[in-house]
Amino acid sequence: MGGSENKHIILVSYYWPPAGGSGVQRWWFFANQLVKNGWTIDVITVQDPVGSPVDDSFQGQTHPNIHVFPLSIWEPGKRFYHADKPKVKGGLAYHVIRWVRANFFFPDARQFFIKPAIRLIKKRLKEQPADWLITTGPPHSMHVLGYALRKTNNIKWLADFRDPWSKFFVNYELPMMSFVRNRHKRMEKKVVSAADCVITTSPSLTAIYKQYNPSVVTILNGYEKLLDGELAQKFTMTYAGALKSNQHLEIVFSTLKNLSDRNQLFAKQLHFRLYGESDNINPPSQLKDQFVAYGYRTKQEIDFVLPQSHILLLLGNDHPDSQLVIHGKLYAYMAARRPVLALVNKHGDMSKLVREYKLGAVFLYTETDKITAWVASQFEDYKAGTVAHLGMPDQSFSREKQAEDLHLLLNQFKS
């Protein structure tokens, strides 16, 4: 490992600017904060990652002590992704390729990044010793790479789990054979057990991983800055981020349709906006004039539109272990200081955060009457002109605070 004066990190992240999306933001911000504390960072990443839109919000903001090394790799899923339209789904070929991807590409279709990245990292270590190798996933191929390098040059290894591994919602949806699922569980345990330090983004996942490694800590996601703006004239609900079919947008459509049918003024004033890539969306015909799907927009644009909203919609993924995940968009919503409507299949860390910090309301997907009553109450406030900002968010959720916690953690392990 490098000497105390070195303070050098090799960060392995599949997502990095100019790619956009939630997978970029956590470590882009961490890296830019860490270099202010004296670290230099090599970022090993992928050139043109599959399925990632370009976001120019980050251009020109990277610190000069962050050196980016993009690798060009073969990615088998590339043919199903297009920059200007959603994935092509359906048909025998699609389902066959999806089955092959689930059962023959381990741990995921980014496995072809592992060997060239290992070669590059070994080359960089010869040129400049490093204190830390940091891998962030998903995709969890990044952690398999870390496991392979765990004893190289006595470098310490930190594994960052932005989402669970075997309990990741994507793995639930893939047509995996049972022995492949068990292989994921075994590899997850090996990675967590072998890392010098593991960080997660939720307390519940930390508790699970502590069974394998005592050096597991929670470093949450957070908000970058407060978002200010004037409320829209119409009663506006906004969802920002990727949207999957297992997030049950149809429940929201049903709620809004029922309220529109009962109240002509609600129907006239409602404006429902969706920003982000999404699976097929079929709003009721009664909402065709009130609903707009804008597709992916840059972080800068999202930061502008969130404070305009009367309700910020948060939809949990409907899978057995969803309670382990806190969606990163919740912190952006927090920064906008508008009421959050969170719908989940079971209560967990995200529900606790919404309730404890009075960010809005959280309901099970099945609590349709309560959801409808809450939206109606928000509309009454809108009519009465009594809508106000929520309180200032707790500073412990700022990205700057999270980055400081990470810096202290890295120094704590550094010899």
pLDDT of residue 277: 87
For 58-71, write each residue's pLDDT tens digit.
766 678 899 999 99
Q: What angle do CA 26, 31, 35 make, to 5 degrees?
A: 155
Percent of the chain residues topping a pLDDT of 70: 94
Q: What is the mean pLDDT of residues 148-167?
A: 92
For 273-312, write each residue's pLDDT tens digit.
999 988 778 899 989 899 999 999 999 999 999 999 999 9
The C-alpha R_g of the chain, in whole angstroms, comes to 22
For 163-200, write each residue's pLDDT tens digit.
999 998 888 888 999 999 999 999 999 999 999 999 99
Residues 6+ apart with CB under 8 A from 117: 12, 44, 71, 145
Q: Would you call 16 exposed, middle or buried from its count of C-beta atoms within 10 A (0-12, 13-18, 19+)?
A: buried
| 206 contacts 191 by C-beta, under 8 angstroms | no
Mean pLDDT value across the chain: 91
The H or E element containing residue 125 is helix 114-127
| 290 contacts 272 by C-beta, under 8 angstroms | yes
Q: Confidence band (pLDDT; 50, 70, 90) for 55?
A: confident
Q: What whole-number distance in Å separates Cα of residue 385 and Cα of residue 317?
A: 34
Q: What whole-number distance in Å separates Cα of residue 24 and Cα of residue 347?
A: 27
Q: Which two tokens stand for residue 328?
A: 């990163």
- Eight-state DSSP code of residue 227: -
pLDDT of residue 414: 61
Q: What whole-number distance in Å separates Cα of residue 158 and Cα of residue 216?
A: 10
Residues 6+ apart with CB under 8 A from 339: 310, 311, 312, 359, 360, 361, 378, 390
Q: Choose among 249, 271, 229: nearest CA to 371.
A: 249
pLDDT of residue 58: 76
pLDDT of residue 79: 54
Q: Confidence band (pLDDT; 50, 70, 90) for 324?
A: very high
Angle 141-148/178-194 helices, nearest 10 degrees? 50
| 6 contacts 131 by C-beta, under 8 angstroms | yes
Percent of the chain residues topping a pLDDT of 90: 74
Q: What is the mean pLDDT of residues 377-393?
A: 91
